[in-house]
Amino acid sequence: MIISAAAFGLVVGALLGLVGGGGSILAVPALVYGVGLPLAAAIPTSLVVVGASSAVAVLPRLRQGVNWRLALIIGAAGTATAYLGAMVNRLLDPKILLLAFAAIMVFAGVRMLLPTKSAGGSCALPGGGVNWRSCLPKAIATGAVVGFLTGLLGVGGGFLIVPALTLVLGLPMAVTVGTSLVIIVINSIAGFAAHLGDLQIDWAVTAAFAGAAMLASLVAGRIGTRIPDKALKRGFGILVLVIAVYVALQALFS
């Protein structure tokens, strides 16, 4: 289990470092089907792994910019709804959760494959300012939705935050990646705290997974600045769709 955890940790960390998200959407399936953890243990473990590796992955991105104000607003909005998501998690059958996970992965994969509009919007005006009257409600709503999914499925939210920051809030991709990583750290901490009441976690597996993910995210973060955004998005979108099919088949027929 330790070797499997470290191997999958490298993949999860690499994705976080490259595109500022996506590692979390793969962490839960990797822990359940690759490492062999039960879903109840995989969710809090994924939050530790994704939070730690995102904190490391943001370091190479600091020079390209992080919108700290938006990150804190979206992260704060998600903190409250993360507890609600964790409450709903305890009421649902694991198969239903995995099917919901697969559905969200399909949505995320399709969005990553679709062409994106040029940057610009209420949160990133052409002159560099922010129209807070229009931007603030969008930022709060984005944070609330992502926070709920974090608590419900153990997802740091980067696979939704990245499209939201670019398509809904209009941030340029260079700022989106760093901002997304900061939000993922905040959401992961909130989501993990929400699961403390019924915590099931194997710390040896978590340490192996997190250590490998942190190392990979740091290396990939430096490499990712040199790879075209379009190529990264397309490759990630295809990977997510393939894994969504696998998770759905496992949930339906296992």
If you average pLDDT over residues 134-154, what whole number do you get?
Answer: 86
What pLDDT shows up at residue 94? 79
pTM: 0.79
What pLDDT shows up at residue 214? 93
- Output b/e per residue, 170-198; b: 16+ Cβ within 10 A: bbbbebbbbbbbbbbbbbbbbbbbbbeee
Q: How confident is the model at residue 223 (pLDDT cuts 50, 70, 90)?
A: confident
If you average pLDDT over residues 95-113, what whole number do you get?
Answer: 82
Query: Above 60 in pLDDT, residue 143?
Result: yes
Higher pLDDT, 132 or 112: 132
Do 50 and 16 touch, CB atoms closer than 8 A?
yes
What secondary structure letter does DSSP report for 129?
Answer: -
Query: HSE-up of 6 (CA within 13 Å, CB side)?
Result: 6
SS3 call for 153: helix
Give pLDDT tens digits for 40-53.
Answer: 888 888 889 888 98
What pLDDT shows up at residue 196? 80
Tell me the C-alpha distance between 30 and 210, whole Å.
Answer: 13
SS3 call for 120: coil
Query: Above 70 in pLDDT, residue 156?
Result: no
